[in-house]
Amino acid sequence: MKAILSAALVLGICGLAVAQDEKADPVGTWKCEYEIGDMKRTSTLTIKKDGDKLVGTMDWPDQKDEKIKDPKFKDGKLTFSAVRKFMDNTIPIDYTLTIDGDKLSGKGAAEFGGQKQEFDIEGKREKKDK
């Protein structure tokens, strides 16, 4: 009886792990929100598969189709960098995001004026039209 219960528990845990892996998929279009200096800001992250590699772009209200660099996805975490061009400045931003179903959350980090700044970012995957 204990062996059957143990086997059922192991299979249940494995099933949860597989289900969680399936939910953690970065591919899609993500509407993101973040705050810098008490100002709410938005961006759109689009992730696609190119063979077995990830590719994508980042859009801000005043900058479109900025290719993301070195996107990687492992264990539910998406990392990449993007260059923000703002008021004659070029600011590389490193992102570390956790994907959970149709939600993402994490941090962006940039060095500006010799100081490293981090900000929290949250987003939701846009629903696909069927």
d(CA 60, CA 46): 12
- Is the model's pLDDT at 107 over the cut of 60? yes
Mean pLDDT, residues 101-118: 92
How many helices (H) does the chain have, and how many strands (E)? 1, 9
Asked whether the beta carbons of 44 and 29 are under 8 A apart, the reply is yes
Token reading at 116: 């490293």
Higher pLDDT, 121 or 128: 121
| CA-angle at 40, arms to 37 and 79, nearest 5° | 90
d(CA 54, CA 51): 8
Q: Give the whole-angstrom CA distance, residue 119 versus residue 64.
A: 21
Give per-residue pLDDT as tens, 22-48: 558 999 999 999 998 889 999 999 999
pLDDT at 5 over 90: no
Domains recognised in the chain with CATH numbers: 24-125 (2.40.128.120)
Q: Which residue has the higher pLDDT, 58 or 5?
A: 58
By residue count, the chain amounts to 130
What pLDDT shows up at residue 23? 57
For 8, residues 6+ apart whose C-beta sits below 8 A from its C-beta are: none
Render pLDDT for 55-96 as a digit per residue (tens, 0 to 9): 999 999 999 999 999 999 999 999 999 999 988 889 999 999
**Tokens representing 128?**
């696909």
**Amino acid letter, residue 98:** T
Comparing 41 with 20, the larger pLDDT belongs to 41
